[in-house]
Amino acid sequence: MIKHPALQDVSGAPVSGDGAALARRIINGDATVEESIARVADHLLTDPRVEVVVSALTLFAPEDRSGWIQLGGRAWIREWPRPGSGFSGLPPEGAGAEAALTMPWLSSLAREDTVVILDRDLLPPEASTDRSELSRFGVRSLIGSTFRSRGEMFGSLSAISLEGGPWPEELVEDVRLLTAAISSRITLEHSRRALAEAIDTGTEAQVAYQQFFGAVGHELRTPLAAIVGYTEVLMDDAAEHPQDPVSEGLLRDGPVILRACDQLVAVVDSLLGAGRTLAADDERNDVVVADAVADVLHWHRTPARSANVTMHADIDPSLTAWAHEAGVRQVLTNLVGNAIAHHRPEGGTVRLTATSLLGESGRPMIRVIVRDDGPGLAPEEMQHVFEPFVRFADPGTKGSGLGLSISRTIAERDGGAVQGESTPGVGTSFWLELPRTATARP
């Protein structure tokens, strides 16, 4: 704190017994934040020097707003005058934030510690705005302190006098202690409100996921049933003429089609429960990563060939993840499908690799990386690729903009993650991380 004739030293004096007792009650949570501020005001008004106590709250709206005046969109102010006093420094109700005192010189000092002004007429030239504002209301001296925590300021408290001169040191220390006690209560209450808001947001997201995935599941079930039914009929017919080239192809690829349908049905069923805690399912299994990758590449043979994209995989067959089998295949399907769809006009290459690593918490993980040599994405585009319905593709490229968002949800359900990086003109890599099973497959 700077030394100046207008300022009184605020260190070294003991607090009063009543002030210490009040601070304990505030910290113990015997009253709300607003009630605690009012009790502090009542305590400070017992000193004959104090004419009025003023408090302002920012970033923290009072729950009980009785007596508080809102200034603008995020500031609240209230005063407690001495009984019988005609003094009031409040702006008229409905005024904007510009109607409040700015006190720029005092405010900058109060952010560091309690400030005690002996007399406004002693303020330095650089505090001319403060002196003018105090003169407008007839204030000669004051004690000002702020509610602050972790670098944030949530408001302030001021004891105001119409007389100049030194303040009782015990009163100054009471202000310091009591504003610190209120700051601690505000910090706890602010955290409680943030947690409640996060829970409410999570509940709303859960309901939204249920509604969305419920609609998707309803729309997918009918065509899936038709695909499965017709495939089974075609395979039965092919079994009667196994030597026919067409029948041979159906008998070879039919089971792949049915597995793909079963996988998609399983994903739909899983997503229908996205509003619940999906990790509570007891259907997680050891998923052989190489087998999952092989299935996904088989499903993408035709679109890759049509796009002149070559697919390569180098996966250790011993790598096994602990996850939902359908979910793993669904995420890899989305990532490989995106890599093929976003190819260069002349085609390209998609490579899949997998490796073991330790996650941030030290947990063994498996990372499956899908790399392409397509046009890539700009950094500002990568910041938004996981947002629902966001797409960075030519109009002719098919896609809903939901694949990456859903993939991340599926991976996080199993304790994993989906992330990516891209270099414009070079290509893009997305990877799926999943917990590794305790014992690898021999």
pTM higher than 0.75 = no
Q: How, if at all, do strands 69-71 and 75-81 pair?
A: antiparallel
Instruction: Give the number of other Cβ atoms within 10 Å of residue 283's Cβ.
Output: 12
* Residue 254 structure tokens: 């039919």
Q: Enumerate domains of the chain plus CATH numbers.
A: 17-194 (3.30.450.40), 281-442 (3.30.565.10)
What percent of the chain is predicted at pLDDT more than 90?
35
Q: What is the pLDDT of residues 45-73, one digit of tens each?
A: 999 999 999 999 987 888 888 889 887 66
> Half-sphere exposure (CA, 13 Å, Cβ side) for 370?
26
Helix (H, G, I), strand (E, B) or coil at 424: coil
Q: Is it the case that residue 440 has pLDDT exceeding 70?
A: no
Helices 169-239, 245-272: crossing angle, 10 deg rounding: 150
Q: Is it the case that residue 442 has pLDDT exceeding 90?
A: no
Better-predicted residue by pLDDT, 400 or 290: 290
Segment among 20-29, 202-211, 266-275, 297-306 with least mean pLDDT: 266-275
Q: How, if at all, do strands 285-288 and 141-149 pair?
A: unpaired
Find which of 146-150, 197-201, 309-313 is predicted with most confidence, using mean pLDDT.
Answer: 309-313
Give the C-alpha separation, 1 to 173, whole Å. Answer: 15
- The pLDDT of residue 441 is 42
Q: In 273-307, which residue ranges form alpha helices assigned H by DSSP?
A: 289-299, 301-306
- Average pLDDT value over all residues in the chain: 82
- The pLDDT of residue 249 is 82
* Residue 354 structure tokens: 């997998």
| CA 424 to chain centroid | 28
Give CA angle at 189 (145, 108), nearest 5°.
25
- The pLDDT of residue 119 is 94
Give the C-alpha separation, 22 to 31, whole Å. Answer: 11
The CA-based diameter of the chain, rounded to the nearest angstrom, is: 109
Q: Is it the case that residue 15 has pLDDT exceeding 60?
A: yes
Sign of CA dihedral 236, 240, 243, 245: negative
- The pLDDT of residue 226 is 79
Instruction: Give the number of other Cβ atoms within 10 Å of residue 105's Cβ.
Output: 19
Give the C-alpha separation, 410 to 54, whole Å. Answer: 52
Segment among 150-159, 257-266, 396-405, 429-438 with least mean pLDDT: 396-405
> Across residues 341-364, what is the average pLDDT?
86
